[in-house]
Copies of this chain bind each other. A is one copy, B any other.
Amino acid sequence: MSGFELLARSGSARRARLELAHGVVETPTFMPVGTAATVKGLQPRELRESGTQILLANAYHLRLRPGRETILAAGGLHRFMAWDGPILTDSGGFQVFSLQDRRTLDPDGVTFKSHLDGSTHRFTPEDTVEFQEAIGVDIAMQLDVCVKLPASGEELAAAVEMTTAWAQRGARARRAIERTHLFAIVQGGLDERLRARSAQELVALDLPGYAIGGLSVGETREEMERMARFTADLLPAEKPRYIMGIGTVADIAVAVDCGIDMFDCVYPTRCGRNARAMTRSGEFNIRNAAYIRDFSPVDPRCSCMVCTTYTRAYLCHLFRAGEMLGPQLLSYHNVALLHGLMAEARAAIERGTWPAWRDALFAELTRSR
Among B65, B292, B317, contact of A320 (Cβ-Cβ < 8 Å): B65
Cα–Cα, bound, A323→B43 (Å): 12
CA of A36 to CA of B70, assembled, Å: 39
Chain-B contact segment, one of A189-197, A244-252, A307-315, A341-349: A307-315
In the complex the two chains form, is B65's CB within 8 Å of A324's CB?
no
Q: Would you call A74 an interface residue if the criterion is a C-beta within 8 Å of the partner chain's C-beta atoms?
A: yes
Please report which residues of chain A, range 262-307, place their CB below 8 angstroms from some CB of chain B when the two chains form the complex: 292-293, 295
Tell me whether A42 and B325 are in contact in the complex, defined as CB-CB below 8 angstroms, given that A66-B313, A66-B317 are known contacts. yes
Whole-angstrom distance from the CB of A76 to the nearest CB of chain B? 12
Q: Would you give the 0/1 interface string for A64-80, flagging 1 where the beta carbon is closer than 8 Å to chain B?
A: 01100110011000001
Does A321 touch B at the CB level, under 8 Å?
yes
Q: Mark A45-80, 1 if CB is under 8 A from B, else 0.
A: 100000000000000000001100110011000001
Q: Which residues of B contact A69 (CB under 8 A)?
A: 293
Contacts of A70 in B (CB 8 A): 292-293, 313, 317
Report A304 CB to chain B, min CB distance, Å: 13
A320 to B313, CA, bound (A): 33
Residue contact B40 to A73, C-beta cutoff 8 Å: no
CA distance A327 to B38 in the complex (A): 13
- The distance in angstroms between the C-alpha atoms of A317 and B61, with both chains bound, is 12
Given contacts A66-B313, A313-B80, A317-B66, contact A324 B293 (CB under 8 A): no
Cβ-defined contact, A325 with B38, below 8 A: yes
Give Cα A80–Cα B329 distance, bound, in whole angstroms: 15
Contact (Cβ within 8 A) A80 B314? yes
Count of chain A residues with a beta carbon within 8 Å of a chain B beta carbon: 36
Once the chains bind, are A317 and B41 in contact (CB under 8 Å)? no
A365 adjacent to chain B (CB < 8 Å): no
Could you tell me the distance in whole angstroms from the C-beta of A89 to the nearest C-beta in chain B?
A: 16
Assess whether A21 is interfacial by the CB under 8 Å rule.
no
| Segment 320-344 of A: residues with Cβ below 8 Å from B | 320-321, 323-325, 327-329
- The complex places the Cα of A92 from the Cα of B350 at a distance, in Å, of 58
Which residues of chain B are near A327, meaning CB under 8 Å?
A: 324
A145 in the interface, Cβ–Cβ < 8 Å? no
Give the complex CA separation of A80 and B80 in angstroms.
36
The answer to whether B65 touches A311, judged by C-beta atoms less than 8 angstroms apart, is no
Return chain B residues, CB-CB under 8 Å to A318.
Answer: 38
What 9 A-B pairs are tightest by C-beta distance, nearest first? A36-B321, A66-B317, A38-B325, A38-B323, A41-B324, A73-B293, A82-B309, A82-B310, A70-B293
Query: Could you list which residues of chain A lie within 8 angstroms of chain B, going by C-beta atoms?
Result: 36-38, 40-45, 65-66, 69-70, 73-74, 80-82, 292-293, 295, 309-311, 313-314, 317-318, 320-321, 323-325, 327-329
